[in-house]
Structure 1
Amino acid sequence: MSEITIRKFATEDIASTAQLFFKSIHRGAASHYTKEQRDAWAPEIPTPEDWQKRLADAATWIAEAGGKTIGFMSLCPNGYLDLAFVHPDWIGKGVAARLYEVLEAYARTSGITALDSDASLLARPFLARQGWEVIAEQHPVRHGVPLTNFRMKKKLN
């Protein structure tokens, strides 16, 4: 197994992170969401323009191994953990933990006092292990299909 490195997002990462987002939903979340739900959540790989807009204001970190993107996380300036995805082949191998460690350290040094997110069924147990609490179960509807996620929060002070 290749060594995992964490670095800041760069413009060159747009395509690899958009593809990883799509693959993680369609393969990685397959045990937690139906095909219909996954198709509604991510009907296609985001366009480079849409993805650039999505990540424009966020601090984003990339996990790499063997020169390939294997995970990423993004944090909005208000403390919202927007994106947290790991390549399906790397789930359970410490990638999310490494990314999260960097994200939380950044939040603390940036003066952010609380983090919040709308966590998927897959992300919920990971965030709970990091000390997050569930505020509410939610059922957002995407493209006419109901999904399940969890409003979660963690105080940093």
Structure 2
Amino acid sequence: MNSNTSNNPKVSIRNGNKNDLNEILLLFQETIGNVCKNDYTHDQLEAWKSGAENKERWEKVIGDQFILVAIYNHQIVGFCTLEKGDYIDLLFVHKDYQHKGIASQLYHLIEKEAVRQNKKYLTADVSKTAKSFFERVGFEVIREQTVNVKGIDLTNYKMEKELIL
């Protein structure tokens, strides 16, 4: 992204589909490797990124979850998924589009969908990197957790937000 781009790029948001999967997987891995590198070790990042290899899991995400993608200049620059109407499974924004309001736009549409489904709470398992964003949009930490991925422990947080219906 060049320096002439405003702080709030004009992104369009649409429902994601199976044709988006390869671009989503690349964004997932690149975001973890670049954006989260100050919060996790190299081995932790590699273990986390390896989640992209689980094609069955990602096909299930695309098939079963409510998924939104943010598009800028014909490129996916962010995505967010909602599982069972009340669990934010994934929320990632491209490394070059951080701090431009894209995560907020995606999140608010996901929250709107949860409210539409009459859910009382939203929950998420949130990385160290994403914790402050989720706190800003009203989530509270329920507990710190250790997740083991391919023999490597990663810290994250179970977070929750009460929704106003």
Give the SS at the match of 2:50.
coil
* 8 A contact 1:14–1:48 mirrored in 2: no
| 1:69 pairs with 2:76 | yes
What corresponds to 1:37 in structure 2?
44
TM-score, normalised to structure 1, is 0.94
Among residues 71, 80, 83, which one is paired with 2:87 in the alignment?
80
Give the SS at the match of 2:64.
coil
Give the Å deviation of 1:54: 2.8
What corresponds to 1:92 in structure 2?
99
Q: Deviations along 1:12-68, whole A, 9 cap, x unmatched?
A: 111111111111111121111111001111226436554212332110000110000
Give the SS at the match of 2:53.
coil
Q: Which runs of 5+ in 1 are unaligned?
A: none
Identity of aligned residues (%): 33
Instruction: Output the amino acid matched with 1:99.
Output: L
Separation (CA, whole Å) in 2 of partners of 1:84 and 1:95: 10
| 1:118 pairs with 2:125 | yes
* 8 A contact 2:17–2:62 mirrored in 1: no
Separation (CA, whole Å) in 2 of partners of 1:89 and 1:112: 33
* 8 A contact 1:29–1:122 mirrored in 2: yes
Taking the TM superposition and a 5 Å limit, the aligned residue runs for 1:20-35 are 20-35=27-42
| 1:138 pairs with 2:145 | yes
What corresponds to 1:106 in structure 2?
113
Give the Å deviation of 1:106: 0.9
Give the SS at the match of 1:139.
strand
Q: Which runs of 5+ in 2 are unaligned?
A: none
* 8 A contact 2:128–2:156 mirrored in 1: yes
Tell me how many residue pairs correspond in the alignment: 157
Taking a change above 3 Å as real, the CA distance of residues 64 and 78 of structure 1, as seen in their structure-2 partners, is closer
Separation (CA, whole Å) in 1 of partners of 2:55 and 2:69: 17
Give the Å deviation of 1:77: 1.3
Q: Deviations along 1:73-121, whole A, 9 cap, x unmatched?
A: 0001141100000101111111100101110111101111110011001
RMSD: 1.5
